[in-house]
Structure 1
Amino acid sequence: MKKVAVILSGCGVFDGAEIQEVVLSLLALEQNDAQWQCFAPDIDQHHVIDHRTGEAMNETRNVLTEASRIVRGEILPLTDLNVDHFDALLVPGGFGAAKNLSDFAYNGDPVQVNQEMFAVCQAFARAEKPAGYMCIAPIMIPQIYPKGVKGTIGNEPDIAAAFNRMGGEHIECPVSDYVLDQRHHLLSTPAYMLATSVLDAASGINRMVKKLVELA
């Protein structure tokens, strides 16, 4: 049975991992007979958002602790992730990918990827093990993979331009599909960059996860 490492960035679309993307991803992995183990960096969130109002809250939360809410506590610190123990990597989106795993949301490009995140993702790339990124998470791809790497965030012009400026090749992609960079065993799908419903998000996530497990 294939083993997939899943990296989360908190809990909640505006300041952490997109919960529906995470749940859909884990469901799709199990439906494709793959095991999963979630990880998250043991760091403070960039900030905390009240998801009812969209306003920042005057409190501090830990990315690992918050992410554990989604997966019923089945999670480990990112520093415990050993690439040798896994066949593939999966990174759901949510603003946490651009706020906690990287600084794209507040500094733009060139993206600075969290040091632990960068080391782990590069380890999978060097080992030529397949990886899948979704939603806004692919904005980190050009900093992790060599120049010319292909990926998608859907069709948002400004983010696509940032992807290209960092040395990547952005490919427009509908929510129901994914982009495969065969050279780097790398997949990406727009998910909630384009999705307007859970069903919408599931269409591309399911296809990408199926292919990820096939490649593993």
Structure 2
Amino acid sequence: MNKKVAVILAGCGVYDGSEIYESVITLLRLDQRGAQVQCFAPNIPQLHVIDHYTGDEMAESRNVLVEAARLARGKIKDIREGRPEEFDALIIPGGFGAAKNLCDFAVSGANCTVQPDVLAFAQAFAQAGKPVGLICISPVMAAKIYGPGVLCTIGHDPETAQAVTGMGAQHEECEVSDIVVDVSRKLVTTPAYMLAQSISETATGINKLVDRVLDLA
């Protein structure tokens, strides 16, 4: 039977939403493996809007769900409509939006909180023992989802790793082409663009993550 996988997006674009390459690679691999996918996003304003050409902040407001719909070709739901019991696994791509819109790690660091709807949704998977994949910067939410002792990776950036351990997680260094698996919690993480220098490098680790998540489901 095909696995049903929920994917949480955080907007559209590396600097203020979900990282587009990471999101597309994730969705592509899930499709290649025959998974049924439903994308979700919180129906909230973005922290801010970044001009991806200049890198400057723009004087406008955008909605996370509306922007994420671009990545999902419109096939997306408000995360408050999601029913975790209907899915076998959850995956959250990275991008600054994961640290700005899904949680406030970009602002608060180790003192961050996860957006309530996202936290409740992800914790439902954790509590049910269903596999979860966190990509790139998304593993900074691991300790908030699972509690102290959870094993994860963001690659080998010392400052971010220190913040992750400060929240109570165990951090394991990892190359871009590999994954780290917390076997008891069924959590799979990979560095992706925390380390990647190309889209092909990113794909190597994400494909491994998707495959392992599906195998654990």
TM-score range, shorter chain: over 0.9
**Aligned match of 1:210:** 211
> Structure 1: 5+ residue runs without aligned partners?
none
- The residue matched to 2:36 in structure 1 has which SS? strand
Distance 1:104 1:215 in 2: 28
Aligned length, in residue pairs? 216
Distance 1:38 1:144 in 2: 19
Q: Counterparts in 2 of 1:77-156, with a 5 A limit?
A: 77-156=78-157
Identical residues among aligned pairs (%)? 54
- The alpha carbon displacement at 1:193 in A equals 0.4
- The residue matched to 2:21 in structure 1 has which SS? helix
Is 1:158 the counterpart of 2:159? The answer is: yes
- The residue matched to 2:111 in structure 1 has which SS? coil
Is 1:33 the counterpart of 2:38? The answer is: no
**Aligned match of 2:12:** 11
- The alpha carbon displacement at 1:35 in A equals 1.1
Residues 133-183 of structure 1 show CA distances to partners (whole Å, capped at 9, x for unaligned) of 000000000111121100000000010001111110000000000000001
- The residue matched to 1:64 in structure 2 has which SS? helix
**Aligned match of 2:171:** 170
- The residue matched to 2:148 in structure 1 has which SS? coil
For 1:13, the aligned partner's letter is: V
**Aligned match of 2:198:** 197
Give the TM-score of the pair, scaled to structure 2: 0.99
Distance 1:80 1:21 in 2: 24
Distance 1:179 1:171 in 2: 7
- The residue matched to 1:143 in structure 2 has which SS? helix
Residues 37-91 of structure 1 show CA distances to partners (whole Å, capped at 9, x for unaligned) of 0000000000000001110000000000000001110100010111110000000
- The alpha carbon displacement at 1:121 in A equals 0.7
Residues 91-110 of structure 1 show CA distances to partners (whole Å, capped at 9, x for unaligned) of 00000000000001011112
Give the TM-score of the pair, scaled to structure 1: 0.99
Kindly report structure 1 stretches of 4+ aligned residues shifted beyond 4 Å: none
**Aligned match of 1:70:** 71
- The residue matched to 2:55 in structure 1 has which SS? coil
**Aligned match of 2:60:** 59
Distance 2:163 2:41 in 1: 25
- The alpha carbon displacement at 1:33 in A equals 1.4
- The residue matched to 1:132 in structure 2 has which SS? strand
The worse-fitting range, judged by mean Cα deviation, of 1-10 and 110-119 is 110-119
Distance 1:133 1:143 in 2: 13
Root-mean-square deviation (CA, aligned residues, Å) is: 0.6
For 1:52, the aligned partner's letter is: Y
> Structure 2: 5+ residue runs without aligned partners?
none
